[in-house]
Amino acid sequence: MIYHHLSVLVHRQAEKYGDRIALKYRDYELSQWIPITWKQFSQTVRQTANALVALGVEETENIGIFSENKPECLYVDFAAYANRAVTIPFYATSSPAQAQYMINDANIRFLFVGQQYQYDAAIRVLGHCHSLKQIIIFDKKVVLDPRDKSSIYFEDFLSLGKDLSYNDIVEQRTAKASETDLANILYTSGTTGEPKGVMLHHSNYLEAIRIHDLRLVDITDKDISLNFLPLTHVFERGWVYICVSRGVQVCINLVPQDIQIAIKEIRPTLMCSVPRFWEKVYLGVKDKIDNTSGPMKQLMLNAVKVGREHNLNYIRLGKKPPRMLHLKYKFYEKTVMQLLKKTIGIENGNFFPTAGAALPVEVAEFVYAVGINVITGYGLTESTATVSCTWKTHFQIGSVGQVLDNVQVKIGDESEILLKGKTITQGYYKKPDATAQAFTADGWFHTGDIGYMKDGELYMTGRLKDLFKTSNGKYIAPQALETRLVIDQFIDQIALIADQRKFVSALIVPVYSKVEEYAKEHGIQYANLDELLTHPQILQMYKGRIDTLQQQFAYYEQIKHFTLLKEPFSMKRGELTNTLKIRRNVIAKNYKEVIDKMYEK
């Protein structure tokens, strides 16, 4: 297979696919999905590339993209690559302070923004960003600040390249584009300390596309991928580039909260997600089964039981199932399971990659049992996403799969996962000390993740920096128990506390609607949410559920006390990163009084 440089990839695909649909996006005013052909995609990228030259963008210059997922993000990306420029995506939820830091750190002159929030955040810090020359706005509905005399809308920007009068310059730059060019600087969300800009070169992406082709052999140009995660996230970004390289139709979801609607409208064959999505699917189905009675309930339970036997004990292990079991499975597959998948919107599913956190064992067993091909993987920004992933057969539940070709993994001191390979970053932007600390003397990259290899598969057990040491000298990896507990239908978020403490405690964000429903069913009287979440019967109910779920853990790893919180952890308060990982140091600070009170008991 020929692997095209990202500077020409869209144009080569347009030559191949022409008027076939490359992208779709939802127009909220028209309430419909708008198709974009490969030819249109290529033409717009070319026009955008010319407009960048007209704007004054130089080769190797850093360009900022501060937006939710939109086709314009891809236009600017590929147009920048054609000019040998570098794109720096910001999370759409980034605070003004975070935006200011990235603009100044990367010396950004031109910043593309999506909607009103991103524009307002950029305008707010404009006076503190001395390099920032102009803001270009994707959404024409954005209302400009009365003092703003320099920002322009994307339509006006695009008109600068309408007649392709700078195409000779673009072509000259593209001709010089090489694998050694820097493609992106992806700022880590920073669970501790200030963000670091991970440098990803074109060589990283080209290698990632190549090694994924060897593993994900079932992707074809007949597939339809729904873009759910932020394009800022290396997982979705790398995935979209793989899809473009395979001719897959990419449907761009603008509003993350609308994903349930979008899935049913698009009926995708592929979709990247985080495990929380499948946890909610599992809890929803489990709740439906629990609230069904009679023959229908038995039918659903039998379907899951047969699917578990057929898919987990045979297909997963590459074995041929007995004929009678296979016939039973086919019956349930065409009835109960097909109805379930259709209800979610994934009845056309090919496979669904998931990463970013551990997929709970119960959830994994359920989705495989009902015939949903969820592919679990492990990776990080610094490895251009995937290091390892499972495939449809020959994998162990609980592992993050087999390591991809040409990626080297070894287990170092303190069980840390170390990496080498062509997909690994060359380092952090303008941070030589951090770069030096990130690599061993012989070139292995420190992931900071704890894990082990067994029978050719990689298992991840936690983060080194999250490893708690109790005052009794016991080490605890909190993610394992947190992953176990978050599958409970009454638990939305959880943060374990144990570092330098005499026992494990937890802050729990309940699923408030479930608690209220439970109170109503059991005649529990309360005046407000505070009273409900401290009611003895509610606390006893949670204790029983927690004790059941944590019984497989060692005594010193188990939660002894917990507090139910009346509001969720928040990005605004700094408790969550842009990728919704908890910042333990911020939570420890914000909830210090609550935590200390648990240790007075």
Nearest to 68 by CA among 47, 41, 91: 91
Per CATH, domain 467-598 is 3.40.1740.10: no
Residue 340 pLDDT > 60, yes or no?
yes
- Confidence grade of residue 500 (pLDDT, cut at 50, 70, 90): confident
pLDDT digits (tens, 9 = 90+) for 163-186: 999 999 999 999 999 999 999 999
Question: Where in the chain are the domains?
Answer: 9-177+216-266, 275-425+433-464, 467-598
Q: Using an 8 Å Cβ cutoff, are 425 and 200 in contact?
A: yes
Quote the pLDDT of residue 21: 98
Cβ within 8 Å of residue 302, ≥6 positions away: 332
What does the alpha-carbon distance between residue 264 and residue 258 come to, in Å, rounded to a whole number?
10
CA–CA distance from 414 to each of 153, 300, 464 (Å)?
52, 45, 8
Residue 193 confidence (pLDDT) above 70: no
* Nearest Cα to Cα of residue 496 among 479, 473, 512: 479
Return all residues near 140 (Cβ < 8 A) that are at least 6 apart: 153, 154, 155
What would the DSSP string read from start to end of 395-409?
--TTS--EEPTTEEE
Q: How far is the CA of 595 from the CAs of 103, 203, 577, in angstroms?
A: 37, 47, 21
Residue 185: which of 435, 382, 446 has the closest Cα?
382
9-177+216-266 is classed in which CATH architecture?
3-Layer(aba) Sandwich (3.40)
| C-alpha to C-alpha distances, 228 to 231, 353, 357, 517, nearest whole angstrom | 9, 12, 16, 31
- Judge if 9-177+216-266 and 275-425+433-464 fold alike in CATH terms: yes
Instruction: Read off the pLDDT of residues 21-67 as tens digits, 9 standing for 90 and up.
Output: 999 999 999 999 999 999 999 999 999 999 999 999 999 999 999 99
**What phi and psi, each to the nearest 5 degrees, are found at residue 385?**
75, -120
Rounded Cα–Cα distance for residues 249 and 255 (Å): 19
**Mean local confidence (pLDDT), 304-327:** 95
Which of these, 355, 385, 433, lies nearest to 194 by C-alpha position?
A: 433
Q: Which fold has domain 275-425+433-464?
A: Rossmann fold (3.40.50)
In this predicted model, what pLDDT tens digit does every residue of 153-162 receive, in sequence order?
A: 999 999 999 9
pLDDT at 217: 85
pLDDT of 288 above 90: no
Average pLDDT, the chain: 94
Identify the pLDDT of residue 159.
97
The predicted model gives 575-584 an average pLDDT of: 84
Judged by average pLDDT, the poorest of 116-120, 405-409, 469-473 is: 469-473
CB 46 within 8 Å of CB 170 = yes
The pLDDT value given to residue 190? 56
Q: From the centroid of its chain, how far is CA 280?
A: 15
pLDDT at 291: 87
State what percent of residues in the chain have pLDDT above 70.
Answer: 99
Convert the pLDDT of each residue in 544-571 to its tens digit: 999 999 998 888 899 999 999 999 999 8
Q: Among the listed ranges 136-150, 339-353, 455-469, which one has the minimum average pLDDT value?
A: 455-469
Cα 514 to its chain centre, rounded Å, is 27
pLDDT of residue 356: 82
- Following DSSP, what letter does each residue of 528-561 receive, concatenated? SHHHHHT-HHHHHHHHHHHHHHTTTS-GGGSEEE
Token pair for residue 90? 């910001």
